[in-house]
C-alpha cells in the first residue's frame, strides 16, 4: 500500500506515492537522487543523514517520508544559491573542516540550525550543538572553526564573488565537500 505525499524539497514541490515504511533519507537519496544526504549508522546516532524538516534539524533515518507530508525539506543540495557556496560550505572549505567529507552535509545542516537561532555562538555552544554529528577524521577542531567562519561571514547572506568557488546547478560539488 502506498500513501500520497507532497513536500517541498530545496524549494521544489514534489508529489509522490510512497510506502509508509520508506524513510525520509531513502526517499531523498533513492527517489529524488539527492545523494548528498548520507546514511551512516542507520540507528539515529551519527547525524550523517541530518536535513532540515520544517526549519528544524532532524535525522532523516528516523523519520518516515509520510511524516514529512506537507513539509519543507532542506538538504545540502539546497544550501548553495546562484552557484555560490553558502557561508557554511565556504567555512568548511576555508578552514579545512573536512577530510573524507562523509559527515560534512550533516555537520553543515546541524550548524545551519544552530546559527539560525544563535548567530554568534561560543565555541562551547558550537560543540554542544554538534553533539549529534560524529566525524571520524578531523578531531572536530576545524569543524568548529568552519562554523565560526560562517558566523563571522553572515550565515544568511551570500558570500562575496571573488572568494566563492562556483558549484554546478545541482550543487553536487558543494554536497560532496
Q: Tell me: does residue 20 bind another protein (CB under 8 A).
A: yes
Q: Tell me: does residue 8 bind another protein (CB under 8 A).
A: no
Report how far apart the first and last C-alpha atoms of the chain are (Å, whole number).
38
Taking CB under 8 A as the binding criterion, the range among 6-14, 65-73, 92-100, 161-169 that sits at the site for another protein is 65-73
CB of 88 to another protein, least distance (A): 16
Q: Tell me: does residue 147 bind another protein (CB under 8 A).
A: no
Cα–Cα separations (whole angstroms), residue 37 to 2, 59, 76, 82, 117 = 24, 10, 7, 20, 22
Q: Assess contact for 102 and 13: CB atoms under 8 A.
A: no
Return d(Cα 60, Cα 112) in angstroms, integer: 16
CB closer to another protein, 44 vs 122: 44
Q: Assess contact for 97 and 130: CB atoms under 8 A.
A: no
The residues that touch another protein, with contacts defined as CB under 8 A, are 1, 3, 19-21, 23, 26, 42-45, 47, 50, 56-59, 62-64, 66-67, 69, 110, 113-114, 129, 131-133
Amino acid at each position: 500500500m502506498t500513501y500520497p505525499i507532497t513536500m517541498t524539497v530545496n524549494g521544489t514541490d514534489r508529489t509522490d506515492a510512497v510506502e509508509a515504511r520508506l524513510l525520509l533519507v531513502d526517499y531523498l537519496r533513492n527517489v529524488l537522487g539527492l545523494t548528498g544526504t548520507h546514511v551512516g549508522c542507520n540507528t539515529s546516532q551519527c547525524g550523517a543523514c541530518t536535513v532540515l524538516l520544517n526549519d528544524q534539524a532532524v535525522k532523516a533515518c528516523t523519520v518516515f517520508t509520510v511524516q514529512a507530508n506537507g513539509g519543507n525539506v532542506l538538504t545540502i543540495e539546497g544550501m548553495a544559491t546562484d552557484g555560490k557556496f553558502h557561508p557554511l560550505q565556504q567555512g568548511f572549505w576555508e578552514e579545512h573542516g573536512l577530510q573524507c567529507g562523509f559527515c560534512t552535509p550533516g555537520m553543515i545542516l546541524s550548524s545551519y540550525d544552530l546559527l539560525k537561532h544563535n548567530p554568534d555562538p561560543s565555541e562551547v555552544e558550537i560543540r554542544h550543538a554538534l553533539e549529534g554529528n560524529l566525524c571520524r577524521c578531523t578531531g572536530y577542531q576545524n569543524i568548529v572553526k568552519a562554523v565560526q567562519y560562517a558566523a563571522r561571514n553572515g550565515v544568511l547572506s551570500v558570500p562575496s564573488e571573488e572568494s566563492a568557488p562556483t558549484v554546478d546547478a545541482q550543487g553536487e560539488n558543494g554536497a560532496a565537500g
